[in-house]
Amino acid sequence: MSAVFPKWTNRLPLMILTGLVLVGGGVVAGVWYYFTPKYTRVGYQPLQPVAFSHKVHVDQLGLDCRYCHHDVERSWFSNIPSSSTCMNCHNQVLKDDPRLALVRESAATGRPIAWVQVHKVPDYVYFNHAVHVNRGISCVECHGRVDQMDEVFHAKPLSMAFCLDCHRDPASFVRPLDKVTDLAWRWSEDPAEHARQQQSQGRRMVEHWRIESLQNCSACHR
Amino acid sequence: MATVTSSAAVPVVPKELLREPLVTNNRTPGWISDRVASLIEGRTPAWWWVAFIPSVLLAALLLGMLAYQISTGVGVWGNHHPTMWAWDIINFVWWIGIGHAGTLISAILFLLRQKWRTAVNRSAEAMTIFAVMCAGIYPAVHVGRVWFDWFLFPIPNSNAIWPQFRSPLMWDVFAVSTYFTVSLLFWYVGLIPDLAVMRDRAKTKIRQFLYGLFSLGWTGSNRHWSNYEKAYLILAGLSTPLVLSVHSIVSLDFAVSQLPGWHTTIFPPYFVAGAIFSGFGMVLTLLIPLRRWCHLEDIITMRHIDVMCKVTLATGSIVGYAYGMEFFIAWYSGSPYERFAFINRALGPYWWGYWIMIACNVVFPQLFWFKKIRHNLWIVFILSILVNIGMWFERFVIIVISLHREFLPSNWAYFKPSWVDIATYLGTFGLFFTLFLLFMRFLPMIAISEVKGVTPHADPHMPEGGAKGGHH
């Protein structure tokens, strides 16, 4: 046979194979990491028109979530409080603080503050806050420790797989109704004990509250 | 083996059936290599450019049409309710059907030890691959949202959803992608010894490098050939059920539905027969001019044409039987919808489509019964084109005529293609011929090593005559 290729090309098949495995593995790993909501959504923290701190209001002052987001138990939509809610306190607290100028102006003129929405699901997803809150799903499951956030960021991926993880196994996530807004709440300080209780109590709650673990299309994509 | 006689007499060689040899004019192996390689090594013939330039322009038209359709929406086609499938699926099935003759020739005829396949298998396989490429475009772009095509593949994703494995359209994805991959592998495995021939003949460094690269260090040793033959046989054995199942799966797109005219159990074999019928039509359409222009008359002989005409006749008759059986069952079923569907085919607003189909697929191929016709290349060429037209109309009849008048009369409508439908279809011809012309300029159009195997020279028993022999 004519010597078309030099001798070192004997190693070429191995090199090509290794290269393919590396490139293929790299592409899969890269897509897995960088192209899923775990990366593309988690950590999203837009600049808000008013630097509202949940940490101050919840952690420091002890406000319940429902003081501001008061429709969350009644409506599919968890409302953003209007400026008048802010002014309940801020007409006296920090009443001349320049950081609150926009809030005062909004309350005076009635023109709403242009808050930037952080948690957005597409329009073809019909998410209902009330049904979740009334069946023992805590705010923390989807929004993370908002009580610890100075400014809100996207803590959970909110992908369909994320929703289905819970819909397929609600017992691992439900909690007593009066603890829904208590973001730090655990069954026990001991993690093993917490997990045990969550399973046994969770299963009981799912049964008693008749939680249907809906996984059909029309549950969300109506 | 027969027992060896103890007598010293020369063993009596059994008398061969007197058949026309597969390579005429007693051409030598060297001549075959020179002849086939000259198509690549010689100057580009003028007719090649005459064919190539319009093909590339048409392929560009295809790109333009796809860009227009994807950016504007599938509504640029003539499809509407109730005819939601029309030229997109007609052309998909048509191109996939064209591709089936290639695998039939390479795989099924290989298993049946049909030595005449050697002269036509390479170009038929190339035809398969390019036809499947043209076909594969349609399932990808006939959807409204092309960018979600990847949902069709069972990939773990952050939606935690999988495709519906009950849909024949889903099976299409697997059938067509497997078919394409296996056809490509089969074609490539067949090419390896010939690429080595081209490597060894190469005059320029670039050619030597490229043919050398793709021939994967083939030396034609005994061990190479032994493994090669086994691999080829296995691939042929795998491709045979594949070719039968792929077009069956395509037929299930229709047969699985409930529509009168579609919901028929005869579809899988009938579609396969039609596919082979149309595929052979296309092989004839391509090879009759090519054997003349490329001076391959001694390799693709009249016997090859004759045999292909016979296969066309046989499959065309199966298709004709299926048409008759569909009508019989429509009457026999007693279902008013089914009866109406078939009366509507023959006498409804698209009566002309139905009768073009019957004329081209059932009536004209019957002329192949006559040897005179099978040996008149002009008539064979024209009939082969009529077969392609007829088989396009078969898909038109099945898809459009069944859809446009279905259960509810309030759903009835008349389908007309838009100019985009037509231009896209023309464009796929551009893509097909561009690829085919490139193939014949850069790769051996005839399987050199296999044709050498069927020459008298390769016959260890009869070095001087007879058409026996061959390495398989």
CA B120/CA B109 separation, integer angstroms: 11
CA B300/CA B454 separation, integer angstroms: 13
Contacts of B157 in chain A (CB under 8 A): 36, 161
Interface with A, mutate which of B157, B158, B161 (most A CBs under 10 A): B158
Residue in A closest to B219 by C-alpha:
A1
Nearest to residue B248, comparing CAs of B274, B224, B228, B214?
Answer: B274
Cis peptide before B82 (omega within 30 of 0): yes
Mean pLDDT, rounded, for B304-324: 94
CA B392/CA B456 separation, integer angstroms: 41
Interface of B with A (CB under 8 A): 157-161, 199-200, 208-209, 212-213, 217, 219
CA distance B412 to chain A (A): 29
Max intra-chain CA distance, chain A: 95
The count of residues in chain B is 472
Inter-chain contact A161–B208, Cβ cutoff 8 Å? no
CA distance A209 to chain B (A): 26
> Angle between the B351-358 and B336-347 helix axes, to the nearest 10 degrees?
80
Q: Where are the domains of chain B?
A: 25-151+162-458
CA distance A62 to chain B (A): 36
pLDDT at B180 exceeding the cut of 90: yes
Residue in A closest to B209 by C-alpha:
A4
Q: What pLDDT was estimated at residue B143?
A: 93
Mean pLDDT, rounded, for B433-445: 94
A126 in the Ramachandran plot: left (φ > 0), alpha (ψ -120 to 50) or beta? beta
CA B202/CA B438 separation, integer angstroms: 18
Kindly indicate the confidence band of residue B11, based on its pLDDT and cuts at 50, 70 and 90: low
Residue in B closest to A37 by C-alpha:
B158
Q: What pLDDT was estimated at residue B470?
A: 42
CB within 8 Å of B298: residues ≥ 6 apart: B23, B24, B25, B27, B35
User: What single-letter amino acid sits at B419?
Assistant: W
Inter-chain contact B159–A159, Cβ cutoff 8 Å? yes
CA B58/CA B437 separation, integer angstroms: 14
SS3 content of chain B, % helix, strand, coil (to 5): 70, 0, 30
Q: What pLDDT was estimated at residue B472?
A: 42
pLDDT at B466 exceeding the cut of 50: no
Residue in B closest to A216 by C-alpha:
B161
Inter-chain contact A160–B159, Cβ cutoff 8 Å? yes
Tell me the percentage of chain B whose pLDDT exceeds 70.
94
**Which residue of A2, A5, A36 is in closest CB contact with B158?**
A36
User: Dihedral of CA B443/B448/B451/B453: which sign?
Assistant: negative
pTM: 0.90
Residue in A closest to B212 by C-alpha:
A4
Contacts of A165 in chain B (CB under 8 A): 160
- The separation between CA B11 and the C-alpha centre of its own chain, rounded to angstroms, equals 44
B218 in the Ramachandran plot: left (φ > 0), alpha (ψ -120 to 50) or beta? beta
Higher confidence at residue A4 or residue B412? B412
Q: How far is CA B429 from CA A8, B180, B410, B422, in A?
A: 44, 18, 37, 11
- ipTM of the complex in this document: 0.85
> Angle between the B168-201 and B117-141 helix axes, to the nearest 10 degrees?
140
Q: What pLDDT was estimated at residue B1?
A: 43
Contacts of A36 in chain B (CB under 8 A): 157-158
Buried b (16+ CB within 10 A) or exposed e, B404-436: bbbeeeeeeeebebbebbebbbebbbbbbbbbb
**DSSP string of B60-117?**
HHHHHHHHHHHHH-GGGSS--SS--SSHHHHHHHHHHHHHHHHHIIIIIHHHTT-TTH
- Specify the range with the lowest mean pLDDT, choosing from A161-170, B48-57, B102-111: B102-111
> Angle between the B222-255 and B168-201 helix axes, to the nearest 10 degrees?
150
Inter-chain contact A160–B161, Cβ cutoff 8 Å? yes
Inter-chain contact A160–B219, Cβ cutoff 8 Å? no
pLDDT at B58 exceeding the cut of 80: yes
Determine which helix (DSSP H) or strand (DSSP E) holds B50, and give its type and residue range: helix B46-72
Inter-chain contact B200–A2, Cβ cutoff 8 Å? yes
Interface of A with B (CB under 8 A): 1-2, 4-5, 36-38, 157, 159-162, 164-165
Inter-chain contact A161–B212, Cβ cutoff 8 Å? no
Torsion of CA B10, B13, B18, B23, to 10 degrees: -90
**Which residue of B158, B161, B208 is in closest CB contact with A4?**
B208
pLDDT at B19 exceeding the cut of 80: no
Higher confidence at residue A10 or residue B455? A10
Q: How far is CA B93 from CA A93, A176, B87, B391, B395, in A?
A: 74, 59, 10, 10, 7
Inter-chain contact B158–A164, Cβ cutoff 8 Å? no
Residue in B closest to A6 by C-alpha:
B209
**Which residue of A1, A38, A162 is in closest CB contact with B219?**
A1
Q: What pLDDT was estimated at residue B464?
A: 53
The hierarchical CATH code for the domain B25-151+162-458 is: 1.20.1630.10
Inter-chain contact B199–A157, Cβ cutoff 8 Å? no
Nearest to residue B74, comparing CAs of B141, B138, B135, B134?
Answer: B141
Mean pLDDT, rounded, for B184-191: 93
> Angle between the B29-41 and B168-201 helix axes, to the nearest 10 degrees?
110
Nearest to residue A220, comparing CAs of A169, A159, A176?
Answer: A159
Q: What pLDDT was estimated at residue B9?
A: 65
Quickly list H helices, B256-350.
267-293, 302-333, 336-347
CA distance B190 to chain A (A): 20
Residue B113 burial by CB count (10 A; 0-12/13-18/19+): exposed, middle or buried? exposed
Query: Locate tokens 């009866």: which residue?
Result: B339
Per-residue pLDDT tens digits for B255-293: 999 999 999 999 999 999 999 999 999 999 999 999 999
CB within 8 Å of B323: residues ≥ 6 apart: B358, B361, B362
Query: What's the 3-state SS for chain A?
Result: CCCCCCHHHHHHHHHHHHHHHHHHHHHHHHHHHHCCHHHHCCCCCCCCCCCCCHHHHHHHCCCCHHHHCCCCCCCCCCCCCCHHHHHHHHCCCCCCCHHHHHHHHHHHHCCCCCCCCCCCCCCCCCCCHHHHHCCCCCHHHHHCCHHHCCCCCCCCCCCHHHHHHHHCCHHHCCCCHHHCCCCCCCCCCCHHHHHHHHHHHHHHHHHHCCCCCCCCHHHHCC
Q: How many CB atoms lie within 10 A of CB A3?
A: 7
CA B410/CA B89 separation, integer angstroms: 24
Q: How many CB atoms lie within 10 A of CB B304?
A: 22
Whole-number average pLDDT of chain B: 90
User: What single-letter amino acid sits at B30?
Assistant: G
Tell me the percentage of chain B whose pLDDT exceeds 90.
74
CA distance B442 to chain A (A): 19
Residue B72 tokens, joined: 């504007």
Inter-chain contact A4–B212, Cβ cutoff 8 Å? yes
Kindly indicate the confidence band of residue B147, based on its pLDDT and cuts at 50, 70 and 90: very high
Nearest to residue B141, comparing CAs of B390, B420, B360, B365?
Answer: B420
Per-residue pLDDT tens digits for B224-243: 999 999 999 999 999 999 98
Q: What pLDDT was estimated at residue A95?
A: 87
CA B70/CA A99 separation, integer angstroms: 49
Residue in B closest to A35 by C-alpha:
B158
Residue A141 tokens, joined: 């499951």
Residues of chain A with pLDDT under 70: 1-2
